[in-house]
Amino acid sequence: MNARAATTITVAEPTPAVAAEPTPQLRRAEPCTMVIFGAGDLLHRKLMPSLFHLMGDGLLPDEFAVLAVARSQGDDDWFRTEVGNALRTFAQGGDGGPDAAAVRRFASHLHYLPGELDDMATYAALRRRIGDIDAAFPGGRGHLFYLAIPPSLYADAITRLAQTGVAPRVPDPRQRPWVRIIIEKPFGRSLASAVELNACVRRAFAEHQVYRIDHYLGKETVQNLLVFRFANSIFEPIWNRAHVHHVQITAAESVGVEHRARYYEEAGVVRDMFQNHLLQLLSLMAMEPPVTFSADAVRDEKVKALRAIRPITPDAMHDYAVRGQYGPGTIDGRPVPGYREEPDVAPGSATPTYAAIRFMIDNWRWHDVPFYLRSGKRLPHRATEIAIQFRKPPHVMFPMPPGETMEPNTLAIRVQPQEGITLRFEVKVPGIEVRTASVDMDFSYAEAFGELEHDAYETLLLDCMLGEATLFTRSDEVEAAWTAVDPILDYWAGKRPEHFPNYAAGAWGPAVADQFIAREGARWREP
């Protein structure tokens, strides 16, 4: 029977240990100057609100300073006004927005330097401005450089930072003052370009100085994956090929390309979502238990999982990957154009906006267990979910109505929105006869702990200032992920799709994707 019911989980109070240690407090960042290259959308929407909230929580010291470097002409006062306006739009606060006095206090830590990043004079001026800011706060301080600029500018900016001595190599991670650099995704656009960029980075910095950021890893539910797997002994015995039928990882977006069409035409869905976000989730799901909860131990195991992904050959590509592109349709009751009708998109574009890929992990734990990853734009709604479908019982002794089968047990981890975990299992329906029904046991972060107050960037920025690299990707991890997707990109680049568009906006993707997963005796979930 297909009836479904739901229940909720109550969060238990932790059991005190015999000699309980005091609850550790959040560590406060050390005094530092943060230099941000670029003053665009990322700075206004994410970086400034995140730093503002960290300061409001008392996690940034009074000696903290930000220096933005960008092409726009302006001075410190102009930049502080710009950021103040952004905070009133994007920062959290009461009904009237963030506190005006708090905004002014935060703005007093902000500085601005106009300049072209391909001009060596900019770096000379930058060195002087950093010196002036640091002189006002004697005692030594760290320096954090954030590349919030187009990926095509990464290599030149990194090289010039090193050549001019603005951001020197620091061989010893314990050395003070520290120097670190944050690099936004995408890190390369192929394996070859990622290897080349990594080589450029290694010439300028030691690996411990480099923080390759993926905001997905800062999300509360993603971080909870490690706790869920390795702090609960009931799941580890069944987290393997003997009990898991398949895993689905879905990242659905209801929006189109919006203002990113020029970037998206070059990238497509695989570069935009699979190489970074989705393969990060796969590695966390598939990795072995690390020896310790430390950056290198966790990242070592993630790399092993990525390296165990079975290479996809051109002859077998049809069995492992399908793609799609959205046409006109309806989202939330309103008509929307197809991808080829979007501004800055070529009328005959072959760029995929949807992909479904089956990855096989050839190791002892996951042999013959498919990991289905899919992502697409203009799907019915925004949702990111990891779903583990367990194998059905080997023998069903209970009577079932004709044409019906017992639903498999499923563990679904919701990354966004409405972060939480749902476990679906079978129970007996009350009554004289024996009938079964599927019920959901549901845990919601919002219900258990209140609404999540921190953006992923807050976690990641603070971790970087503290030198905590667990949630950042390492060079070998980046290259392992590109190794997994490069054959797909190469194959599709040589095979122009004549069937685009093949799904309407508002649908869950093309029909070929449903046929693709059905061949393995499965069907897509609708998160």
- Which active-site residues does the annotation give? 277
Region of residue 476 (phi > 0: left; psi between -120 and 50: alpha; otherwise: beta): alpha
Cβ neighbourhood burial of 379 (10 Å; 0-12, 13-18, 19+): buried
Cα atoms in the 13 Å half-sphere on the side-chain side of 366: 23
* One-letter amino acid for residue 91 of the chain: A
| Helix or strand holding residue 358 (H, E) | strand 354-360
Which residues, in sequence order, are bridge partners of residue 335? 330
Q: What crossing angle do the helices spanning 191-204 and 475-493 adopt, rounded to 10°? A: 150
How far is 296 from 311, CA to CA, in rounded Å? 25
CA-CA distances (angstroms) from residue 450 to 138, 352, 444?
41, 38, 9
Alpha carbon of 324 to those of 233, 249, 259: distances in Å?
Answer: 40, 17, 20
> How is 222-272 classified by DSSP, letter by letter?
HHHHHHHHHS-TTTGGGSSTTTEEEEEEEEE--S--GGGHHHHHHHHHIII
Sequence-distant (≥ 6) Cβ neighbours of residue 421 within 8 angstroms: 228, 411, 412, 413, 414, 442, 443
CA distance 457 to 59: 14
SS (H, E, C) 397-462: CCCCCCCCCCCCCEEEEEEECCCEEEEEEEEECCCCCCCEEEEEEEEEHHHHHCCCCCCHHHHHHH
